[in-house]
Amino acid sequence: MQLHKKTLLVKKLACKILPLVIASFFIAACSSTQVQKPDINYASHYSVVPVQSGIENAVVDSSWWQSFQSPALNNLMQAAQQQSPDFLISVERVKQAELQMRIANASLFPSLSANASSSESRNKADGKSSTRTESTRAGVGISYEIDLWGGLAADRASARAGYDAMRYDQDAATLSIKAAIANGWFQWLALQERIATANKNIAIAERVQKIVDARYNNGAATAADVAQQKTNLLSQRSSLLPLELQARQTQSALAILLGKTPQEFSLVAGQLLDVNVPQIAPGTPADLVTRRPDLAANEAELRGANADIHVARAALLPGIKLSADAGKSASELFSLNPATQTSGWAVSLVQTLFSGGRLINQKRLSEAKQVEMVLQYHKAILTALQEVDNALVAADISQRQEISQQEIVANAERSLRLTEARYRAGTDDLLSLLDAQRSLFQAQDSLVQQRLSRLNAAVDLYKSLGGGWSLAAN
């Protein structure tokens, strides 16, 4: 009989709340957090087309650094994924965002609680003996808030958007870290070659100094000639020190990116001119939106802002909460036998009548933030298009400059060969030969700097294109 009464109670409760639950699901389904995309007039091509590209909508390799064909760089990238503090920090932030999403998803389930209590009280009236009252109670309760207006669903959507944005931010941070490692590695290689060139120039200056000193001792040169060449030698030695300092600082910066202390970190020397310069085909500007994680993060934040508006609107409407409880109570301490069984359920309706404008202003604030996010998203796309265009221009100019500098080096080598031939024939002096050698070394130093500029431009182009990242790959 008792079981039959409980069954009737459950059926009665279901008949009352089922229409409300169905209505809430229908309203939540009708609510949308669709992103309002900014209206941008995408061009069909960039202002500069890279040499030998000619490929429309090419896919950028996600392991873009391997296209430089540098085993040392590949090792640095692998170490960064395992040890880089910045990378590990971004991973932990994604975990936090995932936990926030799980907290918001808890609203899908009812809240279940249990309680137990025992009490004793004594009462004594004037002229009478005291009386003692004992009681023990244990019970369980369940409550569930019906998402009648879709506010809880929007709150979950906002948490999901926040999680997506954090994941995309992690991808963007990883791309920036890898680009910084590549730039740092190329910078260190360039400095090593420039230091070697500077040492060659110093050796030439020292040889010239000996010649000038010998000529001065023989009366063929003046004291002013000696002082001038001494100044030149000291200047050459002084110019070496900043290069050595930059090389040390660059190595230390790479150590920090890789999670190492500068004292324990060292790099293996290599030839910068042996590093391959990849040819990158960017495709059309519209493809840029799917290649950059920072733009995907902005879009996710915009989805979250749209969901926050729906949350603020739902807060203005009445809320419905279902609750039920069951328990046992007895008039003796710590005893539930014999006991009285109790059970019940309730449906409560809550509507805020006055809040000093807090709720309506919260709604307006959410709408204002959404408008700001649309404008920020628009600006981010424009900035991304500008970065790609600038990177393409830099890659094109640096390539042409390197070609020009290669011709200069070739002419300097030819000049040195001719000067050496004339020196052997006795038609030219040693100073002219040494000057020709110094000109060649300087041209080679400029070629190293031009190759560095070209490699950095390639890294910037990979970065501006998203480094091969895409929504599908995520």
Domains of the chain: 39-113+163-320+367-464 (1.20.1600.10)
> pLDDT tens-digit profile of 65-106?
999 999 999 999 998 888 888 888 888 888 888 787 777 777
Q: Quick one: which of 261, 211, 219, 284 has its CA closest to 431?
A: 211
Q: How far apart are CA 437 and CA 460, in angstroms?
A: 35
Q: How far apart are CA 192 and CA 64, in angstroms?
A: 24
pTM: 0.75
- The confidence band for 14, taking pLDDT boundaries of 50, 70 and 90, is very low
> pLDDT tens-digit profile of 113-154?
787 777 777 777 666 677 777 777 777 877 766 666 677 777
Rounded average pLDDT over 439-449: 91
Residue in this structure with the two tokens 């902005």, named with its chain if needed: 298
pLDDT of residue 249: 94
> pLDDT tens-digit profile of 154-164?
778 888 888 88
Q: How far apart are CA 74 and CA 62, in angstroms?
A: 13
Looking at per-residue confidence, does 329 or 406 come out higher?
Answer: 406
Please measure the distance between the N-terminal and C-terminal CA atoms of the chain and give it in whole angstroms: 58
Q: How far apart are CA 13 and CA 126, in angstroms?
A: 49
- The confidence band for 352, taking pLDDT boundaries of 50, 70 and 90, is low
- The confidence band for 55, taking pLDDT boundaries of 50, 70 and 90, is very low
Percent of the chain with pLDDT over 90: 20
Structure tokens at 115: 């309680």
- The confidence band for 469, taking pLDDT boundaries of 50, 70 and 90, is confident
On the question of pLDDT at 223 being above 50, the answer is yes
